[in-house]
Chain A
Amino acid sequence: MVKDLTMAYGDSVVVRDLNFSVKEREIFIIMGGSGSGKSTLLRHLIGLQEPARGTIFYQGASSGLWEMATPERERLLRRFGVLYQGGALWSSMTLGENVALPMQEYAIAGAEEISALASLKLGLVGLAGFEDYYPAEISGGMTKRAGLARAMALEPDILFFDEPSAGLDPITSRRLDDLILDLRDSLGATIVVVTHELASIFAIGDNSVLLDGQSKAMIASGNPKRLLAESKDPRVLAFLTRGGTSRA
């Protein structure tokens, strides 16, 4: 749950007074135009940036993300998996090593089991047999999927996706959407997606917030399809209809 969150870089406020909550096992979309603060909100949610004001609560935690002691916050962050916009795979490691590293760090199993687990995670995203490839040797879509395999390495409760469709062709993007739905249904994870791709938003989103860069505020929240059907705010309609006003 996000309560009265204000995000800023120094004196420059990005978004103010955000309030929303994400339910378990839902796919929650953070949407908005370029520069509206979507990625900044994601950085706040995953503990990379401290809010200027307000609190971020996670279920099972004793206090807000930035109010708790560092060791407790680190334990909480281990429940998250993050897929970054560019994949952010460690370029000096193979895909297998990328996926295995988090498991090795927390010693969740022996070396052989970790290797098998890494292969399994890569297999889940359709990259079986690519364990020994380096990030530079695979395509953009494969990089995203490998990043997703790494994000799933520690069996996270919550998966965060930063612009998963960015830079992908429509078919690869659609496959990634299907994969996200599969993961939610099979792993039971809560998924938070930052995106402005309308096709993805309507295909996978259960709930959403829409950020507006001009007013520096959240201007809508709810199921994206319902927002399209029911919202009377021209800004919301303009965003959900690619600048038009027709709901058709």
Chain B
Amino acid sequence: MEHVDLEYGRTPDGTLHVALGGDWKLARGIPALRGVLEEIEKQPPPQRVVLETSVLAGWDSGLLTFLLAVLSRCMQLGVEVDRQGLPKGVERLLALATAVPARRNSRSPRSESILASVGDAAITWSRGCRDTLAFIGEAFLALVRLFTGKARFRRSDLLLVLQGCGARSVGIVALINFLVGIILAFVGAIELRTFGAQIYVAHLVGIGMLRDIAPIMTGIIVAGRTGAAFAAELATMEANQEIDALRTLGIAPMDFLVLPRLLALSLMMPLLCLYADLVGIAGGLVVSASMLGISPVQYLLETRHAVGLNDLFLGLFMGFVFGVLVALTGCMRGVRSGRSASAVGEATTSAVVTGIVSIVVATAIITFISYVLGI
């Protein structure tokens, strides 16, 4: 087996001979550079460096990186290098690698003060806010155009989005809300049974699902499913210049792409919430009937007695608001994304995170207002 061999030493005339022998391949391990570099840097510096490879058996990029480091150090110190002993292939590759000088400091990390970093972050944040407000404004103008009959989009697109965010979401919305109804009933039953008040499980599940839980859970499902799909689809269109193509044909992307999605989701979310209410109540009914000894009829009568139309409409209103928020965040992240594969991923992630955060913030605001108004 060949061994990697590196020998170096000075002759009396001040020439440093660097002899490379054996199999210089990455897989076999490359000798450390440090010794040769220290020899080059040692005072007095060598008159010249002669590279000898007469006993070199094989080589790959490992040899090139070694030689590049030696050449670069010699150039910095102004030491002449005799490269005549190098194999022709190595010479050619070294010439290629050094043909274009490396760009200096183009992407090197700058050390910034904390104040500058905070300033940069604040500027980025304020630009993001301005961008968001501009998008909301554009969406509002598009809605105005819609109601004045001037907005143009394909009806088939609206129907497709309605199907995607409505009919195709029914399964997952049912599963999650049914399980949440069951969980809510169990949590209530544990405490209420100690007071013999397990019949009030129907109140807890009914009011809880209608007012808050069903809209929130449905909103989160839709943000993860439909909001992400909107962002990914629109970001891919942006990356493929499909949105540019719309703009150059004078077709407003806001009307053509955002409006159908906004309309579809704001129409479909209240319906999904209504469905989620019913399924959640059914979940509570299963627990009550099977474990708490409450008959289904009694449970339903109690539920009817406990919940009012105000609870129902509040939940549906929240669903509508969440639909608008998820559609806007999904479309905004998609349309405003970059033109690369990673930008599509970032847009999707950002759409889901922003969608869920906006749902929680909106819930807090609506709950507070409804409390103050006594709804």
Contacts and interface: CB of A to CB of B under 8 A. Distances in A.
Contacts of B247: 47-48
Contacts of B91: none
A105 B249 contact: yes
A14 interface: no
A106 B251 CA distance: 9
B241 A78 contact: no
B191 interface: no
B249 A84 contact: no
A80 B244 CA distance: 13
Contacts of A150: 245
A82 B242 CA distance: 11
Interface string A77-89: 1101010111011
B242 A88 contact: yes
The B interface, classified by DSSP as helix, strand, loop or mixed, is: helix
A77 B248 contact: yes
Nearest to B236: A91
B152 interface: yes
Interface string A28-68: 00000000000000010011100000000000000000000
A90 interface: yes
The A interface, classified by DSSP as helix, strand, loop or mixed, is: loop
B251 A47 contact: no
Contacts of A154: 249
Among B236, B237, B249, max chain A CB count under 10 A is at B249
Nearest to B247: A48
Contacts of A178: none
A88 B245 CA distance: 7
B240 interface: yes
A32 to B, nearest CB: 18
Given A74-B250, A105-B250, A89 B242 contact: yes
Nearest to A77: B250
Interface in B221-254: 236-237, 240-242, 244-251
Interface residues of B, number: 17
A123 interface: no
Interface string B143-168: 00000000010100100100000000
B244 A88 contact: yes
Contacts of B241: 84-86, 88
A88 B236 CA distance: 11
Contacts of B240: 86, 88, 91
Contact of A84 (B154, B157, B244, B251): B244
B166 to A, nearest CB: 18
A102 interface: yes
B242 A48 contact: no
Given A77-B249, A78-B250, A91-B236, 14 more contacts: A47-B248, A74-B250, A77-B250, A84-B244, A85-B241, A86-B241, A88-B240, A90-B242, A91-B237, A92-B157, A101-B154, A105-B251, A150-B245, A153-B249
19 contacts: A47-B247, A48-B244, A48-B247, A74-B250, A77-B249, A77-B250, A80-B248, A84-B241, A86-B241, A88-B240, A89-B242, A90-B245, A91-B237, A91-B240, A92-B157, A101-B251, A105-B249, A105-B250, A153-B249
Interface of A: 43, 46-48, 74, 77-78, 80, 82, 84-86, 88-92, 101-102, 105-106, 150, 153-154
Across the A-B interface, give the 6 residue pairs with the lowest CB-CB distance, nearest first.
Answer: A88-B241, A88-B245, A84-B241, A82-B248, A102-B249, A74-B250
